[in-house]
């Protein structure tokens, strides 16, 4: 896959969602059918032999490739959402982001001990969201957990904050 060509499609949005943040907008990549297919193919090849039973996508951009990948792997898709968006009983986890405190939730019946989980999100920045998501998924005591991001802002060193016992893959590095 030509990562450089895909990286050139990513749009930078200065001062979003607050001053001082340079937001990496992947919607410009998703709208290109060739790039979307290339990312889908790459993710599928990374995880096709891992026994993934559930892909857990983190709101909201993690839903895009997460659902595509779940379909390709023959796995279920589980959303992790912001508070009040899931209709049944949930577990919550709060965490600090680069621009404030946030909370995410997962349904209490979303996963089981027999599952092998792929946690997916679009971007690794400081790692706070994924650490919270991993903490939520660990409550289910699954067989194994993998973590994947489409992109990573390497200078923020969020990878160092992620659980050392979970394999982490990133396709695009900024």
Residues 42, 59, 98, 169: which is the catalytic one? 98
Residue 147 contacts residue 167 (beta carbons within 8 Å): yes
Is 139 a catalytic site residue? Answer: no
Question: pTM of the predicted model, to two decimals?
Answer: 0.95
Q: Is residue 12 part of a domain?
A: no
* pLDDT of res. 141: 98
Return the sign of the alpha-carbon dihedral for residues 129, 131, 134, 139.
negative
pLDDT tens for the chain, 174 residues: list them: 789 999 999 999 999 988 988 999 999 999 999 999 999 999 999 999 999 999 999 999 999 999 999 999 999 999 999 999 999 999 999 998 766 789 999 999 999 999 999 999 999 999 999 999 999 999 999 999 999 999 999 999 999 999 999 999 999 999
From the CB of residue 127, how many other CB atoms can be counted at a distance below 10 Å?
24
Q: Is residue 169 part of a domain?
A: yes
CATH number where 119 lies: 3.40.50.2020
Domain count, the chain: 1
Q: Is residue 61 part of a domain?
A: yes
Residues 61, 93, 105, 152: which is the catalytic one? 61
Look at the block and give the residue holding tokens 């792997």: 73
Q: Is residue 13 part of a domain?
A: no
Q: Is residue 2 part of a domain?
A: no
Q: Which residues pair with 90 in a beta bridge?
A: 107
Is 42 a catalytic site residue? Answer: no
Range of the domain at 123: 50-173
């Amino acid at each position: 896959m030509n990562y450089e060509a895909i990286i050139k499609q990513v749009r930078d949005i200065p001062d979003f969602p607050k001053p001082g943040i340079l937001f990496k907008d992947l919607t410009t990549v998703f709208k290109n059918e060739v790039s979307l297919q290339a990312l889908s193919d790459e993710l599928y090849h990374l995880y096709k032999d891992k026994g993934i039973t559930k892909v857990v996508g983190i709101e909201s951009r993690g839903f895009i490739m997460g659902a595509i990948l779940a379909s390709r792997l023959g796995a279920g898709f589980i959303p992790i959402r912001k508070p009040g968006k899931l209709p049944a009983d949930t577990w919550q986890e709060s965490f600090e982001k680069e621009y404030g405190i946030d909370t995410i939730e997962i349904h209490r019946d979303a996963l089981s001990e027999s599952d092998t989980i792929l946690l997916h999100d679009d971007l690794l920045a400081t790692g706070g969201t994924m650490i919270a998501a991993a903490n939520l998924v660990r409550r289910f005591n699954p067989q194994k957990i993998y973590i994947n991001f489409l992109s990573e802002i390497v200078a923020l060193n969020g990878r160092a904050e992620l659980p050392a016992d979970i394999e982490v893959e990133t396709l695009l590095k900024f």
